[in-house]
C-alpha cells in the first residue's frame, strides 16, 4: 500500500520510558497528520534504573498495550513495535538473547552512555553545557578521547548486531562541535566517521535521519554533510523524529526529505505489511 507523502516515523517514545504522553495519544496525532505507518521505540531496559529507560517489569504491558492499539486502529494506520536498545557493554546490548527473544517488528541500536576511568557510567546524550562538564569532569578535558570512545562503542555495537537501524548515528557531533568548533573538519574526526559509515554500509544496516533537534539546533543526526556519502555507499535511510511529544512526530520531516533528495536519494525505507519497503521520496 503506502500513500503519498512519506508520512512515517519509527522512532518515538511514550510514558513507558521518557516520552510525555501515552502511546494512544501518539497514534491519534499520527492519524490526524495523515501518517500511514508508525512505530514505537521505547528506551529498552538497562541493568540499572534510570529516569529515561523502561523497566523489565513494564515489558508485558508495553507489548499488550501495543497489541490493543494495533487491533483498534487496524485499517486506519499500520502500527509497529520496536525498542531503542543501548549498547552499554558486552552483557547489555541489542545482540543479547533477552532482547532478541522479544516479539518486536524492528530494533534501533543507540549509544547514549560511556564509562569513565573509574568504571562509572556517564551519560553523554545531554545538552551541550552539561556535555562540556562531562568532558572536563570525567575525562580531563580530553575531547578527542571522548569522541573516540563513543565511536569505538558504536563500532562494537555494529559488530555485535541484533538491530536493524542505527539510531542518531553521529549525535555527539553537535556537543563536540560546541566544545571545539571546527571539529568536523579535523582529519582524524573525518576519518573516524568515514570508517564508521563504511562499516554500516558493509553490514547493511539502515541509518535513520533523526530530526529531533532540527528546529532547535539546526542539525540532523547524522549531519547533512554525510548524506551524499551515505547515498554513494548504498546505505538505506529512513526519516525519524525521535519524538517524546505527540505534536512533534512530524518535526523536521519535510526538511530531511528535501535534504536527502539534494544528496541524490530517491527513496526512503518505510514499513508496510510488516516489511521494509523502499518508497519514492515524494517531495
Ligand atoms: Zn536515543
Ligand atoms: Zn530515542
Query: Which residues make up the environment of ion ligand 2, defined by Cβ < 5 Å?
Result: 84, 242
- Ligand 1 centre from 52 Cα, in Å? 10
Least Cα distance to 170 among 186, 192, 185 occurs for: 192
Average pLDDT over residues 11-24: 98
What's the pLDDT score for residue 2? Answer: 38
From the CA of 103, how far away is ligand 1's center (Å)? 21
Q: How far is the CA of 167 from the centre of ligand 1 (A)?
A: 6
Whether 83 is in a domain gets the answer yes
- pLDDT digits 0-9 by tens, 106-125: 999 999 999 999 999 999 99
Q: How does pLDDT run across 175-188, given as a tens digit for each residue?
A: 999 999 999 999 99
In a domain, 114, yes or no: yes
User: What confidence tens digit (pLDDT) does each residue in 258-283 have?
Assistant: 999 999 999 999 999 999 999 999 97
113 is a domain residue:
yes
Please calculate the CA angle 240-242-245 and round it to the nearest 5 degrees.
Answer: 125
Residue 12 CA: distances (Å) to CA of 79, 91, 261 = 12, 25, 24
pLDDT at residue 4, rounded to an integer: 59
Q: How far apart are the C-alpha atoms of 91 and 116, rounded to whole Å? A: 18
Quick: pLDDT tens for 177-217: 999 999 999 999 999 999 999 999 999 999 999 999 999 99
Which phi and psi angles does 117 have, rounded to 5°?
A: -65, -25
- The alpha carbon of 135 and the centre of ligand 1 are apart by a number of angstroms equal to 19
* In-domain check, residue 153: yes
Nearest listed ligand to the Cα of residue 110 = 1
Residue 1 pLDDT level (bands cut at 50, 70, 90):
very low
β-pairing, 121-123 with 206-210?
A: unpaired
Instruction: Look at residue 5 in the predicted model and tell me its pLDDT.
Output: 87
Q: Does residue 222 have a cis peptide bond before it, meaning omega lies within 30 degrees of 0?
A: yes
Q: How far away, in angstroms, is 110 Cα from ligand 1 center?
A: 6
> Which DSSP string corresponds to 138-206?
HHTT-HHHHHHHHHHHHHHHHHH---SEESSTTTHHHHHHHHSTTGGGSHHHHHHHHHHHHHHHHHT-E
Tens digit of pLDDT for each residue in 241-256?
999 999 999 999 999 9
The structural domain count of the chain equals 1
Domain CATH number, residue 206? 3.20.20.140
pLDDT at 73: 98
Is 227 within a domain? Answer: yes
Domain assignment of residue 1, yes or no: no
Residue 151 lies in a domain: yes
- Tens-digit pLDDT profile for residues 52-89: 999 999 999 999 999 999 999 999 999 999 999 999 99
Distance between Cα 274 and ligand 2 center (Å): 21
Given a cut of 60, whether residue 140 has pLDDT beyond it is yes
Secondary element (H or E) of residue 83: strand 78-86
Domain extent at residue 217:
8-280
Top pLDDT among 5 and 244 is at: 244
Q: Which three cell numbers stand for residue 21?
A: 504522553
Confidence of residue 130 (pLDDT cuts 50, 70, 90): very high
Joined grid coordinates for residue 151: 565511536
Q: What average pLDDT does the chain have? A: 97
For residue 169, tell me if it sits in a domain.
yes
| Cα→Cα distances 88→64, 113, 136, 179, Å | 27, 7, 22, 24
Provide the 8-state DSSP code for 12: B
Which ligand neighbours the alpha carbon of 125 most closely?
1
Amino acid at each position: 500500500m503506502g500513500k503519498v507523502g512519506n508520512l512515517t516515523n519509527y522512532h518515538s517514545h511514550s510514558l513507558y520510558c521518557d516520552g510525555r504522553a501515552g502511546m494512544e495519544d501518539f497514534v491519534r496525532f499520527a492519524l490526524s497528520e495523515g501518517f500511514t505507518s508508525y512505530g514505537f521505540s521505547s528506551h529498552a531496559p538497562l541493568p540499572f534504573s534510570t529516569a529515561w529507560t523502561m523497566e523489565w517489569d513494564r515489558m508485558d504491558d508495553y507489548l499488550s498495550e501495543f497489541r490493543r492499539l494495533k487491533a483498534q486502529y487496524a485499517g486506519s494506520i499500520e502500527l509497529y513495535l520496536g525498542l531503542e536498545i543501548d549498547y552499554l557493554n558486552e552483557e547489555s546490548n541489542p545482540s543479547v538473547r533477552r532482547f532478541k527473544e522479544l516479539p518486536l517488528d524492528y530494533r534501533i541500536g543507540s549509544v547514549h552512555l560511556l564509562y569513565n576511568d573509574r568504571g562509572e557510567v556517564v551519560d553523554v546524550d545531554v545538552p551541550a553545557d552539561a556535555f562540556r562538564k562531562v568532558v572536563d569532569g570525567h575525562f580531563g578535558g580530553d575531547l578527542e578521547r571522548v569522541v573516540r570512545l563513543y565511536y569505538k562503542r558504536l563500532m562494537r555495537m555494529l559488530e555485535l548486531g541484533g538491530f536493524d537501524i542505527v539510531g542518531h548515528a553521529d549525535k555527539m557531533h553537535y556537543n563536540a562541535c560546541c566544545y571545539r568548533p571546527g571539529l568536523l573538519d579535523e582529519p582524524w574526526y573525518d576519518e573516524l566517521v568515514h570508517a564508521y559509515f563504511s562499516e554500516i554500509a558493509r553490514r547493511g544496516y539502515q541509518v535513520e535521519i533523526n530530526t529531533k533537534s532540527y528546529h532547535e539546533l539546526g542539525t540532523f543526526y547524522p549531519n547533512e554533510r554525510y548524506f551524499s556519502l551515505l547515498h554513494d555507499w548504498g546505505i538505506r535511510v529512513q526519516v525519524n523524529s525521535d519524538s517524546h511529544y505527540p505534536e512533534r512526530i512530524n518535526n523536521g520531516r519535510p526538511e530531511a526529505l528535501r535534504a536527502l533528495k539534494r544528496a541524490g536519494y530517491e527513496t526512503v525505507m518505510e514499513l508496510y505489511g510488516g516489511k521494509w519497503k523502499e518508497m519514492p521520496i515524494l517531495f
